[in-house]
Structure 1
Amino acid sequence: MSSLKLIRYGAWAAVVALAIAAGVLVTLQMTQNKGTGGLIEPLSAIGGPFELVDGNGQTVTDKDFAGKPLAIFFGFTFCPDVCPTTLSDLQGWTMALGEDADKLSFAFVSVDPERDTPDVMRDYVAAFGERVVPLTGSREQVDAVIKAYRVYAKKVPLDDGGYTMDHSAAVFLMDANNRFVGTIAYGEAEDSALKKLRRLIANASASS
């Protein structure tokens, strides 16, 4: 087995372990709060303040998303499958939500800022509609938000001298106060994803 395959298998094993751990946390929270009507109780260990730049090179912080729930996803523009599929899913969800989509914010954060400059992010995300805010930044800024959201991201060398990125594939759901309340898994059924998004909207409306 090649060294690249060993690296990739190890990286994906870490992704699976992270997903299982996150699932356990969410399940425990849902069990503890059964019957409360909320999505789940916020898990303060995931999320937090951040400062990045959008596709126009303008500074964007977590405060710019305050007041609305946020669906935020991490990836990179050279991603062959997970990222374009998830962005396409996000586009489909917003269409299915109709006017209710205006009650949510959506963001796509690059884990590969060396290649994903603001203009590259802007042009890439534009292919999937206008609702998703493309975010990148310096290596330090991106590393900080990756750490805050407990995102797995690892550079994997390729035989041709280039590299790809292994990364967490879930969409993180944050409430209007930027508190983590759950995830939408990669490949999750549309009806399940929409149910979570509608509940996120309903909870925000009930608390406002």
Structure 2
Amino acid sequence: MLRRYSIMAAGFLALVLGGLGAMVFFAPDRGQFAQCRETAIAGGSGAIGGPFTLTDHTGAQVTEADFADRPVLFYFGYTFCPDVCPYDLARNAEAVYTLTERGYEVTPVFISVDHQRDTLEGLAEFVSFMHPDMVGLTGTEQQLRDAARAYRAYYAVQDTEDEFYLIDHSTFTYLNLPGHGFVELFRREATPDQMADRVACFIDNA
């Protein structure tokens, strides 16, 4: 467990990056889902999201089209993350459990930006621990860069030879809906119940 929880400073840095990202992404906006948003999205929801080609934790190649038929919560991170990613993904999983109890089917997806260390076997173990329906995705460095760019997600591998290197990354969770694509960003301070309420609002108004 040392590899995942040895250096706690990454959590603070990722939180700061997430907060900085919020200032970049949010601005006045109105639309179909305005009543579901805490703050509107700069440029509209169409400015975020797009095509990607990645590999899921079973080894199958997938694209954005494989997730277009259901509500999906995307999160970019890595399994060696000391505390931020496990916390955020556990929060997402709890929100999905709550939504399931209310009759909503939502798929949590974890996109690992650590293609060098996050093997398919390790990724499969990680996502199954978080939620039985969570999908783990990875890919080549270029594929991950393309996916992150599409969602305006930031990540940067620290320049070091230490095998326990950290990756700085933004901490948003992205909600996609069938027929709409990306519709909302959730910041990490959102609680599971708050997230569940807002996701349900988006689904009801889709």
TM-score (norm 2): 0.81
Equivalent position of 1:89 in the other structure:
91
Equivalent position of 2:186 in the other structure:
184
TM superposition shift of 1:179: 2.3
Equivalent position of 1:62 in the other structure:
64
Paired with 1:88 and 1:12, the residues of 2 have a C-alpha distance of 16
Q: Deviation string for 1:16-60 (max 9, x for gaps)?
A: 3222112x23xx12xx34896565685222110111011111011
**Pair 1:91–1:9, CA change in 2 (3 A):** closer
Q: CA RMSD in A?
A: 2.8
TM superposition shift of 1:98: 2.5
2:23 paired residue among 20, 35, 44: 20
Report the secondary structure of 1:49's partner residue: coil
Paired with 2:153 and 2:76, the residues of 1 have a C-alpha distance of 8
**Pair 1:52–1:195, CA change in 2 (3 A):** same
Paired with 1:96 and 1:9, the residues of 2 have a C-alpha distance of 28
Report the secondary structure of 2:111's partner residue: strand
Which piece of structure 1 moves more, 183-192 or 62-71? 183-192
TM superposition shift of 1:12: 6.8
Gaps of 5+ in 1: 1-7
Q: Give the AA of the match of 1:183.
A: L
Q: Is the 8 A contact 2:77 2:111 kept in 1?
A: yes
Paired with 1:12 and 1:89, the residues of 2 have a C-alpha distance of 15
**Pair 1:34–1:146, CA change in 2 (3 A):** closer
Q: Is the 8 A contact 1:69 1:178 kept in 2?
A: no
Report the secondary structure of 1:103's partner residue: coil
Report the secondary structure of 1:94's partner residue: helix
TM superposition shift of 1:117: 1.9
**Pair 1:37–1:114, CA change in 2 (3 A):** same
TM superposition shift of 1:182: 1.3
Q: Is the 8 A contact 1:70 1:178 kept in 2?
A: no
Equivalent position of 2:118 in the other structure:
116
TM superposition shift of 1:160: 4.5
Q: Is the 8 A contact 2:99 2:105 kept in 1?
A: no
Paired with 2:16 and 2:109, the residues of 1 have a C-alpha distance of 26
Q: Deviation string for 1:88-138 (max 9, x for gaps)?
A: 112211221224565222210011111112221111111112111000011
Q: Deviation string for 1:145-173 (max 9, x for gaps)?
A: 01111101011245856410010111011
Aligned length: 193
Q: Is the 8 A contact 2:33 2:205 kept in 1?
A: no
Paired with 1:105 and 1:10, the residues of 2 have a C-alpha distance of 28
Please tell me whether residue 78 in structure 1 is matched to residue 80 in structure 2. yes
Equivalent position of 2:136 in the other structure:
134
Paired with 1:169 and 1:101, the residues of 2 have a C-alpha distance of 27
Percent identity between the two aligned chains? 31
Paired with 1:131 and 1:102, the residues of 2 have a C-alpha distance of 13
Paired with 1:35 and 1:161, the residues of 2 have a C-alpha distance of 44
TM-score (norm 1): 0.80
Q: Is the 8 A contact 2:79 2:112 kept in 1?
A: yes
Larger Cα Rg: Structure 1 or Structure 2?
1
Paired with 1:10 and 1:123, the residues of 2 have a C-alpha distance of 26
